[in-house]
A = this chain, B = another copy of it.
């Protein structure tokens, strides 16, 4: 609660922390990691260590309340404050802008002419494998859940994206006529 400036510019990972704590209740950094792995981690990756550093920043800003255990591991439990909830809602209300794809496979494909001739086929085979595995995983998850709540929609997008990727790399993997 050092700083009360309501206009600090937070990055996406800050809002992931706020959002997860808001959605699943108070928890430790390790809880955050588990929640993220199971949900938002599918379409937004970051290293665990962010989930230790970010909550401390947010606590400084008064958006989280930190309670440190006395005995044992002195573990830190975080909880969203009213200011934190307000910050999350303000962020939710802003336009989201355009998504970014960040696909090293496409990047390498783009420059493939400067590499070996076989590379395109190899790359396509590799990507096909990855996408097939990911799609299977998504389908498994989709079987368990109704996919009707907003929080479950990203999984639907994941399915669409994986199928599109499979179609895309599929034609590149075939020996051409």
Contacts and interface: CB of A to CB of B under 8 A. Distances in A.
Contacts of A16: 107
Given A23-B114, A101-B161, A107-B15, A153 B172 contact: yes
Interface of A: 12, 15-16, 19, 22-23, 39-40, 43-45, 85, 88-89, 91-93, 95-116, 119-120, 123, 126-127, 130, 134, 149-151, 153-154, 156-157, 160-161, 163-165, 167-168, 172
A101 B99 contact: yes
Contacts of A99: 101-106, 165
A68 B85 CA distance: 53
A160 to B, nearest CB: 4
- Total copies of the chain: 2
Interface of A is mostly: helix
A154 to B, nearest CB: 5
A154 B106 contact: yes
Given A106-B157, A112-B151, 16 more contacts: A39-B110, A40-B107, A88-B111, A88-B115, A92-B119, A95-B126, A96-B104, A97-B130, A100-B103, A101-B102, A101-B161, A106-B154, A111-B151, A160-B168, A161-B161, A164-B164
